[in-house]
Chains A and B, each alone.
Chain A
Amino acid sequence: MNIAVLLKQVPDTEARLKIRDGSVDHTDVKMVPNPFDEFAVEEAIRIREKSGSGQVTIYCLGQEKAKEAVKWAFSVGADQGFLLKDPAFDNSDLLGAAKVLAAALKKEHYDLILCGKQAVDDDAGQVAQAVAELLDLPHVGTVHKMELSEDKKSVVCYRDFEGGVEVVQSSLPAVISAEKGLNEVRYASLKGIMAAKKKSLVEMDLAALGLSAADIGAAGAQLEIRGLEMPPVRAAGKIIDGASPQEKVANLVKLLREEAKVI
């Protein structure tokens, strides 16, 4: 089976971020493979291992530094990868990002396209769906379990919803986005790290993808980010006073109504 995995490099969730010129400043910030995409990479490798043949190909839209994320994927077993890199791709909105990815994916035939349900930097969770739409493929999201059919032509996916589990069957090819719990991501091994050196990582730019700069990047963005702020600093908690529990409750209700204005 030929499987493509969409991988994004994001800031480490524990990193302290700063905002500069209206966007998040990545200077000196530790960048990591998007955790949800890691589940996708792991699942792809498991499927390839089980089927005994096929390739796992990584697609990563990013800057030069994002190569580290692709190398990580190589070190756990992905076979080859593409870094989609071009100044024209910068500042794409979600649809723009999807257009770039779809243009790259279109060049090959994939039986299955996997990715994480969302990237942990913007938590948007829309690119997978948009890519599926652009490739005219079905999409199943937030999947925590998937079972390929014997003939590899369809897949049964399990996804949580409030109060239960939805079981969805889709024909293949399809785009499936991974939820936490899909699998446990393996460690790289020394062997894998050394093998990663030799795996093919090809850069693709605007021309290689046959896209027009007007369609993507800042030029093609349909979403405009007007502001980006750090969340307000958490104020110290307030201990509610009162001579009795009833009085404390009354004081609390008063504050919730008049100060917090939530009731």
Chain B
Amino acid sequence: MVNFTLSDEQKALQELARDFAQKEIKPIAAEYDESEKHPQHIIDKAYELGLMNLSIPEEYGGGGLGYFENCLVGEELAAACSGISTIPMASSLATTPLCLAGTPEQLKKYLAPFCAGPSIAAFCLTEPGAGSDAGSVTTTAELKGDTYVLNGRKCFITNGGISKLYTVFASTDRSKGLKGLSAFIVPADLPGVSAGKKENKMGQRASTTTDMIFEDVEVPAANLLGKEGEGFKLAMMTLDSARAAMASAAVGVARSAMEIAANYMKERVQFGKPIAVQQGLQFMLADMAIKIEGARLLAWQAAWMSDNKMRMSYQAAIAKCYAGDIAMQVTTDAVQILGGYGYMKDYPIEKLMRDAKLMQIYEGTNQIQRVVISRTLLQ
């Protein structure tokens, strides 16, 4: 039974997220983008309002809601600043493997305390030699008695250095490539866990991105998520579920860009008239709206399928790929509509273009998304 309307609670949650984002995040977005400061006070406030850990079960202190609600909130937070909204989104990416494969003991020991305060987590898969090629991970986890000793270096880790928990994908058997990957719960305070310097990024600069270094980190064997060799599968399932929310974030960025462009068109006067009378620009605006509406629904569908426990790699890949691509298109066109002013940092639109670019790259490049999509069609 298809239904495109939100329930009263969903509407209220969306309103809350929008209110919070517009009042607390939007006013500081430019400053935090420039300074790359970490907005802990926003995380604290979001936590207080129940906007973090939405899809973690209630019994462990989460919101007990679904990936759909992640989408609703994600779009609103990202519409205000996707650098800031990436912090809870990436944190959710890291806690999802626990929700998917954690035992009750693991959840009680790690997830419950995590949810008891405004904590942040980080998903550690990418390495200098292992981006799209996850099978080339060289971080190793060697079993010694009842401990796995982790050694290796991850890069481009969102929330690196500021997390309480790291979900680390390491190889327990390098000879097996992808099938040798295993997932581990790595608390930040274990000796040997350290973060590299903060990366100086093009966009989403309020989000902290660092290397994560693991030097002879002794991880209890009980911290293995699922079984040895199941790491890649778990990473893919996690990314599938997260892709819908990521798509919604891209929709949020695009939506903000479109609103800025529309408002500017009404105000900017050239040749004696607002430029809004120019059909060429009207058509650009219409194309933005078409893309945004489409991307939103794709995200919603992928999230809904995930919440209804359906296999959705195909839809998730389509949603993430399309939303990321249109966010880049829409923000680029919005800069164009603002012309010279669009190029100036004084105006908020250039930031959106810089922010949007990352959405075609992270959580699986849009090329990888296309691999997933075409693979499904050519089976």
Q: How far is the CA of A163 from the CA of B251 in the complex (A)?
A: 50
Contacts of B19 in A (CB 8 A): 187
Best-surrounded residue of B13, B49, B63 (most CB of chain A within 10 A): B49
Q: How far is the CA of A112 from the CA of B146 in the complex (A)?
A: 65
Number of interface residues of B (CB under 8 A): 15
Best-surrounded residue of A75, A187, A188 (most CB of chain B within 10 A): A187
Q: Nearest B residue to A74 by beta-carbon distance?
A: B12
Contacts of A188 in B (CB 8 A): 12, 15-16, 49
Q: A187-B19, A187-B20 are in contact. Are A75 and B12 (CB under 8 A)?
A: yes
Q: How far is the CA of A197 from the CA of B51 in the complex (A)?
A: 18
List B3-25 residues whose CB lies under 8 Å from chain A.
8-9, 12-13, 15-16, 19-20
- Asked if A206 is at the interface (CB within 8 A of a chain B CB), the reply is no
- Asked if A19 is at the interface (CB within 8 A of a chain B CB), the reply is no
Q: How far is the CA of A189 from the CA of B51 in the complex (A)?
A: 8
Contact assessment for B8 and A190 in the assembled complex, using a CB-CB cutoff below 8 Å? no
Q: A190-B50, A191-B50 are in contact. Are A71 and B12 (CB under 8 A)?
A: yes
Q: Kindly provide the distance from the CB of A92 to the nearest chain B CB, expressed in whole angstroms.
A: 27
Mark A171-189 against chain B: 1 for CB-CB distance below 8 A, else 0.
Answer: 0000000000000000111
Mark B15-42 against chain A: 1 for CB-CB distance below 8 A, else 0.
Answer: 1100110000000000000000000000
Contacts of B15 in A (CB 8 A): 188
- Asked if B293 is at the interface (CB within 8 A of a chain A CB), the reply is no
- Asked if A252 is at the interface (CB within 8 A of a chain B CB), the reply is no
Q: Kindly provide the distance from the CB of B77 to the nearest chain A CB, expressed in whole angstroms.
A: 14
Q: Nearest A residue to B20 by beta-carbon distance?
A: A187
Contact assessment for B49 and A72 in the assembled complex, using a CB-CB cutoff below 8 Å? no
> Interface residues of A: mostly helix, strand, loop or mixed?
helix
Contacts of A190 in B (CB 8 A): 13, 16, 49-51, 54, 63, 65
Q: Nearest A residue to B13 by beta-carbon distance?
A: A193
Q: Kindly provide the distance from the CB of B2 to the nearest chain A CB, expressed in whole angstroms.
A: 23
- Asked if A196 is at the interface (CB within 8 A of a chain B CB), the reply is yes
Contacts of B16 in A (CB 8 A): 75, 187-190, 193
Contact assessment for B8 and A71 in the assembled complex, using a CB-CB cutoff below 8 Å? yes
- Asked if B48 is at the interface (CB within 8 A of a chain A CB), the reply is yes
Contacts of A15 in B (CB 8 A): none
Contact assessment for B9 and A189 in the assembled complex, using a CB-CB cutoff below 8 Å? no
Contacts of A193 in B (CB 8 A): 9, 12-13, 16, 50
Contacts of A197 in B (CB 8 A): 8-9
Contacts of B50 in A (CB 8 A): 189-191, 193
Contact assessment for B12 and A189 in the assembled complex, using a CB-CB cutoff below 8 Å? no
Contacts of A191 in B (CB 8 A): 50
Q: How far is the CA of A197 from the CA of B16 in the complex (A)?
A: 16
Q: Nearest B residue to A75 by beta-carbon distance?
A: B12
Contacts of A194 in B (CB 8 A): 9
List A196-250 residues whose CB lies under 8 Å from chain B.
196-197
Contacts of A68 in B (CB 8 A): 8
Q: How far is the CA of A219 from the CA of B15 in the complex (A)?
A: 38
Contact assessment for B48 and A189 in the assembled complex, using a CB-CB cutoff below 8 Å? yes
Q: Nearest A residue to B54 by beta-carbon distance?
A: A190
Contacts of A189 in B (CB 8 A): 16, 48-50
Q: How far is the CA of A189 from the CA of B65 in the complex (A)?
A: 14
Contacts of B63 in A (CB 8 A): 190
Q: Nearest B residue to A190 by beta-carbon distance?
A: B50
Contacts of A72 in B (CB 8 A): 12
Q: A187-B19, A190-B54 are in contact. Are A196 and B49 (CB under 8 A)?
A: no
Q: Nearest B residue to A32 by beta-carbon distance?
A: B15
Q: Kindly provide the distance from the CB of B17 to the nearest chain A CB, expressed in whole angstroms.
A: 10
Q: Kindly provide the distance from the CB of A163 to the nearest chain B CB, expressed in whole angstroms.
A: 33
List A52-99 residues whose CB lies under 8 Å from chain B.
68, 71-72, 75
Mark A93-137 against chain B: 1 for CB-CB distance below 8 A, else 0.
Answer: 000000000000000000000000000000000000000000000
Q: Nearest B residue to A194 by beta-carbon distance?
A: B9
Q: Nearest B residue to A187 by beta-carbon distance?
A: B49
Mark B94-121 against chain A: 1 for CB-CB distance below 8 A, else 0.
Answer: 0000000000000000000000000000
Q: How far is the CA of A188 from the CA of B20 in the complex (A)?
A: 10
List B251-279 residues whose CB lies under 8 Å from chain A.
none
Contacts of A71 in B (CB 8 A): 8, 12
Q: How far is the CA of A33 from the CA of B15 in the complex (A)?
A: 13
Q: How far is the CA of A68 from the CA of B65 in the complex (A)?
A: 21
Q: Kindly provide the distance from the CB of B6 to the nearest chain A CB, expressed in whole angstroms.
A: 12
Q: How far is the CA of A186 from the CA of B8 in the complex (A)?
A: 19
Contacts of B8 in A (CB 8 A): 68, 71, 197
Best-surrounded residue of B12, B49, B63, B65 (most CB of chain A within 10 A): B12
Q: How far is the CA of A197 from the CA of B9 in the complex (A)?
A: 8
Contacts of B13 in A (CB 8 A): 190, 193
Q: Nearest B residue to A67 by beta-carbon distance?
A: B8
Q: How far is the CA of A90 from the CA of B123 in the complex (A)?
A: 57
Q: How far is the CA of A191 from the CA of B19 in the complex (A)?
A: 16
Q: List 15 A-B contacts (CB under 8 A).
A: A68-B8, A71-B8, A75-B12, A75-B16, A187-B19, A187-B49, A188-B15, A189-B48, A189-B49, A190-B49, A190-B50, A191-B50, A193-B12, A193-B16, A194-B9
Give me the interface of A with B, judged by CB distance under 8 Å.
68, 71-72, 75, 187-191, 193-194, 196-197
Give me the interface of B with A, judged by CB distance under 8 Å.
8-9, 12-13, 15-16, 19-20, 48-51, 54, 63, 65
Knowing that A191-B50, A197-B8 are A-B contacts, what are 11 other residue pairs whose CB atoms are under 8 Å apart, sorted by A's residue number?
Answer: A75-B16, A187-B20, A188-B12, A188-B49, A190-B13, A190-B16, A190-B51, A190-B54, A190-B63, A193-B16, A194-B9
Shortest Cβ-Cβ A-B pairs, 7 listed = A190-B50, A193-B12, A189-B49, A189-B50, A188-B16, A187-B49, A190-B63
